[in-house]
Amino acid sequence: MLVQQDHYKKSYYETPFHSRTSELNILNEWQRWKDYTVATNYFRTDLEYFAVRNTTGVIDYTPMIKQKITGPDSAEFVNRFFTRDMNKISIGRVGYVVWCDEQGQVLDDGTVFHIRENEYWLLCVERQLDNLAISAIGFDVEIEEITDDVACLEFRAQPLAVF
């Protein structure tokens, strides 16, 4: 668990990667993101931007909201909640998703990890427990926020050309 029992003594948390990012953060620029402190820039924003676009970048996404969806009806539920065919995301894979309200307006987007049979993890910017719980009525699923239990690194890279 990322949140310690004495969490109330601090107004922010450090991600599990904080000690390493601190060493690399030459500018010493930090921001608060969902109760975590994360690096804003490390050296030069323009170089970091082009590194992500042209080579590889690593981003600490630990503060992003994570919800776990489990239960016998989880596959049926995620297929109803998200706008994409979740049957195409096999176990061990991740896919980009969008979800809408009853009028078809996009509420948010994120990524869904198909962890194992009847288990999915949603990674998104805003908490979705209310939307998920209301939409889960009639489905045999459990929805749990796991944000403080799961660290997250994103690797961004250009695809390698195949010859």
Residue 160 has a pLDDT of 63
Per-residue pLDDT of the chain (163 residues; tens, 9 = 90+): 555 566 566 677 888 888 888 888 888 888 888 888 888 888 888 888 888 788 888 888 999 999 999 999 999 999 999 999 999 999 999 999 999 988 999 999 999 999 999 999 999 999 999 999 999 999 999 999 999 899 998 887 777 655 5
- Mean pLDDT rounded to a whole number for the chain: 88
What is the model's pTM? 0.81
Domains identified in the chain and CATH numbers: 7-59 (no CATH), 65-149 (3.30.70.1400)
Is there a contact between 67 and 144 (Cβ–Cβ < 8 Å)?
yes
Q: How far apart are CA 54 and CA 156, in angstroms?
A: 10
